[in-house]
Amino acid sequence: MKKMSKSNIVLIGFMGSGKSTIGKEIAKRLQYSFIDSDEVVENKIRMSISDYFKRYGEENFRLLEEEIISHIALTTKTVIATGGGVVKNPNNISNLKHNGTIFYLKGSPEYIYERLKYDTSRPLLNTKDKLATIRSLLRERSPLYENASDIIISIDNKSIDEIVVSILDYERGKVI
């Protein structure tokens, strides 16, 4: 498999898939910049995404996210961790693909649930049955993640280091 000649590494996947943690480690090893799109959004709106969702709704959040992504996508030598719903807007993916290789960190609903079962900061998961919500959202989003990605990395039962090495091996032109 031949390495793509794009400057950025973009991580997509469901919330709780480790995009930020893995992205920071990749950036450190490559000496790239690291950007978490959700952090950029929160810095701009000066509130949590959860509070923004409650106050202004998902639709307004997605418009703001698109604006942020269009700017972030212009960077070079950057590892970009995206929000879990970034794939809902085709413009985001188009912008990110322009200068980035997109890796989908793919986790099973059960694996994601184990990582998020005590997390109350995710507005879409503040439901009675978190696992059912995760399954439903993944049914909706999995095809979007898969279509948007250049490479799919399974994260179930893998360490952060194993995932990071898989992505770096691909970037170095090795088959994964």
- pLDDT one-digit tens code per residue, 141-169: 999 999 999 999 999 999 999 999 999 99
| Sheet order of strands, 33-36 included | 33-36, 78-81, 8-12, 100-106, 151-154
What single letter denotes the amino acid at residue 115? Answer: R
- Residues 24-59: tens digit of each pLDDT: 999 999 999 999 999 999 999 999 988 998 899 989
**CA-CA distance, 120 to 91, in Å (whole number)?**
29
Domain regions of the chain by residue span: 8-170
Q: Please, how many CA atoms are within 13 Å of residue 94, restricted to the half-sphere of its CB?
A: 5
Cα-Cα-Cα-Cα torsion 158, 161, 163, 169, nearest 10 degrees, comes to -140
Please list the residues that pair with 35 across neighbouring strands.
80
Considering only the top CATH level, what class is 8-170?
Answer: alpha beta
Instruction: Report the distance separating Cα 47 and Cα 38, nearest Å.
Output: 11
